[in-house]
Structure 1
Amino acid sequence: MDPSIEVTSLFSNQSTESCGGETRVENLVFGGYYILVFLLALNGNSLALWIFSRQRGSSTPANVFLLHLAVADLSYVVILPLRATYHLTGGHWPFGEVPCRLAGYLFYVNMYASLYFLACVAGDRYLAVVHAVRSLKVRRARYAHVASFALWLLVTVSMAPLLVSRQTSEVDGATVCLQLYREKASRRALVSLAVAFTPPFLATLSCYLLIIHSLRRGSRLEPALKLKALRTIGLVLLIYVVCFLPYHASRATYILGYGHPGVSCQARRGLMLGNRLTSSLTCLNGALDPLVYLFGAEKFRGSLHKLFSRNAAGTSGATTGELKGTHESSVSAKTEI
């Protein structure tokens, strides 16, 4: 599953270095971007994890998968400041070998864990919408936890080689972390990309197409549940299109084109820039996933509404009657989803 087990510096000579190095403007933009994503993703996923942890008694399979998705996002969010520092120091990695290995490892673990957990959410939505009655025995929280831990085992073991291979190199007197956009452009990595990305993508797309087909034929679901299913479909597909599909398309293009002898320096720089841009987009899924929790997890929106309603009531010194009204609106929000 690991798309970059073979890692080496792409900057073995001065010509290649001048083609692929980051400019000052690029470093400032990327550094600020990673700080912004860090703040959004940290707050959104921390809040989601707190809410999910308080709903253990009424957990559904979708909630379980989204809980594990939040854990995956937080495991990567914590190293985004390291990426920001790398850019803000002009493309220099000051943290040493082990943090570089960990940064690359968590990057791929988060990306592919997110892909597979989103696929699990799609599968659960498919069973809930298309086979609502027949799937009741299968759609249980404990089965979802078993599947989630199996996926964690698969992803973490598959990415383990990144933790034992050297990931830093010296370029022009600066230390670079090879996992930050400088992976080796090998055909082996191309095969790994296809194997890691294609199954969850096709599974997710198939489930959602079948759901849409079922809804168009006339499902017996209530209108509110239909709307919830369509919202979840739209958000998950948006995350795929914005965060994951561009990276894998760009990596495939980069692998096929970078080492070709006829490629100019300008073209190589374009490939490197595309690699950096799409790599940064994968991090955006941590900031977008809380929207999936908001529209796709049962009782999540009601719990969130109740939490903020209580805070507003406390700060404004609301009366007992006002608090009762807030509670009733919270219950209404719960029944809506």
Structure 2
Amino acid sequence: MNSTTERRFFYHSTGSRAENISLATYYVLILLFSVPANAMALWVFCCHPKRNNNSRVLLTHLAVADMCYVLLLPMRVVYHASDGHWILGEAACRLSGFLFYLNLYCSLYLMTCVAVDRLLAVAYPVRALAWRKPAYAKVACAVIWVTMTVGMAPVLLSKQTVEVQLQQQQQQQQRYSNNVSVVSLEDPQQQQQQQYNNNVTVCLQLYLVKTSPRALLSTAAAFSVPLLVLSVSYILILVKLGSVSRKQRQSPVHLKAKRMVALTLANFLVAFLPYHVHRFVYIARYGRPDVGDAEATALTDGNRLTSALTCINGVIDPLMYFFLTNTYQRTLLRMLGRPGNTAQPDPGQSSSRMEMSSAEIL
């Protein structure tokens, strides 16, 4: 971190009172929805294995990644409830940063695997039977978890908390509001006490992005692959679904497939794309000496906002499970007091191998 970046981060690190209250409330709401929804998904996938297929394996690991991520949110709630003061210690700061990036990118790459799996099921229903096996899905999940764990491990090995002094302007405003006299401020002991009271501990893993060419390159490499694969996969899926007859397009299988594509794309566009686009801009601009305080503040606020949006992933994924998994759908409907009547393809329609394969986990 260069001197310009360090000075700006210390100046803007704690955030306003209104911002901290809003973010703490937002994270609590995400927790209230995503924890029970993902917990139910794990219960359905692990305790009710109707059939062990590769899609179920991928969705189980995706639910694990989502659950691990949202369970980190209480740390952010405490951080913002304390007005940007990290009171949980060095170990918790390192762990929060490590698990944030680990589960964020595991979720992203598992979503990419689900997209490829759906493409194979829809576009190559017969030839893909030899490829779409649970053992291959388990290997893919293991490679993702191991790769991401090794890649994020350096966060655990370096100091991630620092004690900083609140910006001078805030201190002066507080002194005037408290009617502190100039004479008392000139007293060395009171100056030392005032400085101590205005110190806060900041966790560098919250909303701070390293501004270096290496950080820019690693972000581009980590995001460009799933971006390309997801885009190509779902375009090909929609093209394939659009090539069938009009009657087949109205079948429950095709309608559910289209909803699944829409939810996955919405998840990607809301939770992942803004975060990485802003991350590029932040890395490229924040450390430049010609960037004024207004732009630096906007970049910092954008970093907080897009980082908070990544939590939406833990909310949208359970909706995707609802449209992908009959067991999850029936369980949720029973809990809501409604009959779990899962739609099936019309027997009068041609039950092609493509439809059957697409309906495998729908």
TM over 0.5: yes
Check conservation: 1:11, 1:171, Cα contact below 8 A: no
Query: How far apart are 1:188 and its partner, in Å?
Result: 1.1
The corresponding residue for 1:319 is none
Gap regions ≥5 residues in structure 2: 166-198, 346-361
Report the AA paired with residue 235 of structure 2: L
1:149-201 Cα deviation digits (max 9, x unpaired)? 12111111111111111111111111100010123211211111111111112
User: Following the alignment from structure 1 to structure 2, what is the Cα–Cα distance between the partners of residues 257 and 24?
Assistant: 26
User: Following the alignment from structure 2 to structure 1, what is the Cα–Cα distance between the partners of residues 76 and 117?
Assistant: 34
Query: How far apart are 1:56 and its partner, in Å?
Result: 2.3
Check conservation: 1:10, 1:184, Cα contact below 8 A: no
Query: How far apart are 1:10 and its partner, in Å?
Result: 7.2
The corresponding residue for 1:225 is 253
1:34 aligned to which of 24, 27, 35: 27
Instruction: Please state if 1:67 is matched with 2:60.
Output: yes
**Helix, strand or coil at the partner of 1:135:** helix
Query: How far apart are 1:21 and its partner, in Å?
Result: 3.9
Query: How far apart are 1:134 and its partner, in Å?
Result: 1.2
Query: How far apart are 1:36 and its partner, in Å?
Result: 1.1
2:140 aligned to which of 129, 139, 147: 147
1:100 aligned to which of 78, 93, 115: 93
Report the AA paired with residue 41 of structure 1: S
Runs (4+) of structure 1 moved beyond 6 Å? 7-11, 219-222
User: Following the alignment from structure 1 to structure 2, what is the Cα–Cα distance between the partners of residues 308 and 301?
Assistant: 10
**Helix, strand or coil at the partner of 1:22:** coil
Instruction: Please state if 1:216 is matched with 2:242.
Output: yes
User: Following the alignment from structure 1 to structure 2, what is the Cα–Cα distance between the partners of residues 298 and 260?
Assistant: 52
Query: How far apart are 1:16 and its partner, in Å?
Result: 5.5
Instruction: Please state if 1:113 is matched with 2:106.
Output: yes
Check conservation: 2:207, 2:304, Cα contact below 8 A: yes
Trace 1:1-337 onto structure 2 (pairs within 5 A).
Answer: 12-13=6-7, 17-172=10-165, 173-218=199-244, 223-305=251-333, 307-308=334-335, 312=337, 329-330=339-340, 332-333=341-342, 335=344, 337=362
Query: How far apart are 1:70 and its partner, in Å?
Result: 0.6
**Residues 281/10 of structure 1: CA separation in 2 closer, same or farther (3 Å cut):** farther
Check conservation: 1:231, 1:295, Cα contact below 8 A: yes
Check conservation: 2:58, 2:141, Cα contact below 8 A: yes
Check conservation: 2:110, 2:141, Cα contact below 8 A: yes
Please provide the CA RMSD for this pair: 2.1
Q: Percent identity?
A: 43
Check conservation: 1:193, 1:248, Cα contact below 8 A: yes
Gap regions ≥5 residues in structure 1: 1-6, 313-325
Report the AA paired with residue 236 of structure 2: L
User: Following the alignment from structure 1 to structure 2, what is the Cα–Cα distance between the partners of residues 9 and 84?
Assistant: 29
**Residues 203/229 of structure 1: CA separation in 2 closer, same or farther (3 Å cut):** same
Query: How far apart are 1:32 and its partner, in Å?
Result: 0.8
1:302-335 Cα deviation digits (max 9, x unpaired)? 3433x427xx4xxxxxxxxxxxxx8xx53x4164
User: Following the alignment from structure 1 to structure 2, what is the Cα–Cα distance between the partners of residues 234 and 107?
Assistant: 25
User: Following the alignment from structure 1 to structure 2, what is the Cα–Cα distance between the partners of residues 190 and 177?
Assistant: 21
**Helix, strand or coil at the partner of 2:342:** helix
User: Following the alignment from structure 1 to structure 2, what is the Cα–Cα distance between the partners of residues 186 and 168?
Assistant: 20
